[in-house]
C-alpha cells in the first residue's frame, strides 16, 4: 500500500476524470489525504473522503495564498474539522513568495488562528512555509504529541 498525504482531488481540474483517477488509485491500493485550501474546497475534500471511507481522508484549512483575500471565519473551519474524516489542518502556513509586505501580517494572523484553534482538534498539521525569513516555531511544539507534514520553499533558485 502507498499513502499520498497531499492531494487535491477535489480541485476542478479533476472534474473531467475524477472518478477515473480515483478508480486507478484504489485499484493500485493507494490511499490519500485530500487537502482543503479554503472553506468550500475543504467541504469538497470532506465529501470525497466520506464517499471513500477508509481510503480517503480530508483536511480543513485556508491556504496562505488565499488567506488575504477571503473573509476568514475560524468558527466555520472548526465546525468542518469536527467531521470524522478530517485528519489534520491544512493547507495553511506562510507563503511570502507572492505576498505584498502589507498583507504578510494578515496572512500570519490567519495562519496562527488556524493553528491554535483547529490544530487542537486534530493534532496534525499539513502546511507550507515559503520565502519566510523568520524562524518558524509553532507554539504547539510544546504540546508534545503531534504530527507535522511540512513542505518548505525557502529561497528562489535560478535554473
Ligand atoms: Zn497543496
Give the residue-averaged pLDDT of 49-69: 91
Residue, of 28 and 97, whose pLDDT is higher: 28
Q: Give the number of other CB atoms < 10 A from CB of residue 122.
A: 18
Q: How far away, in angstroms, is 7 Cα from ligand 1 center?
A: 7
Q: How far away, in angstroms, is 101 Cα from ligand 1 center?
A: 23
Give the residue-averaged pLDDT of 130-143: 54
Indicate the pTM of the whole model: 0.83
Helices (H), 3-154: 18-27, 39-51, 64-67, 74-81, 101-117, 119-122
Q: How far away, in angstroms, is 151 Cα from ligand 1 center?
A: 10
Q: Considering only the top CATH level, what class is 2-153? A: alpha beta
Amino acid at each position: 500500500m502507498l499513502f499520498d498525504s497531499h492531494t487535491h482531488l477535489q480541485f476542478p481540474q479533476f472534474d473531467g476524470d475524477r472518478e477515473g483517477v480515483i478508480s486507478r488509485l484504489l485499484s493500485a491500493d493507494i490511499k490519500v489525504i485530500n487537502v482543503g485550501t479554503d472553506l468550500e474546497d475543504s467541504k469538497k475534500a470532506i465529501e470525497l473522503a466520506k464517499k471513500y471511507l477508509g481510503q480517503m481522508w480530508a483536511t480543513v484549512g485556508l491556504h496562505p495564498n488565499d488567506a488575504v483575500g477571503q473573509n476568514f471565519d475560524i468558527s466555520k473551519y472548526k465546525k468542518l474539522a469536527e467531521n470524522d474524516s478530517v485528519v489534520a489542518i491544512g493547507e495553511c502556513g506562510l507563503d511570502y513568495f507572492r505576498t505584498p509586505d502589507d498583507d504578510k501580517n494578515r496572512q500570519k494572523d490567519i495562519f496562527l488562528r488556524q493553528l491554535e484553534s483547529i490544530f487542537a482538534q486534530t493534532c496534525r498539521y499539513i502546511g507550507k512555509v515559503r520565502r519566510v525569513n523568520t524562524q518558524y516555531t509553532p507554539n504547539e511544539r510544546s504540546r508534545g504529541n503531534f504530527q507535522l507534514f511540512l513542505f518548505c520553499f525557502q529561497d528562489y533558485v535560478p535554473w
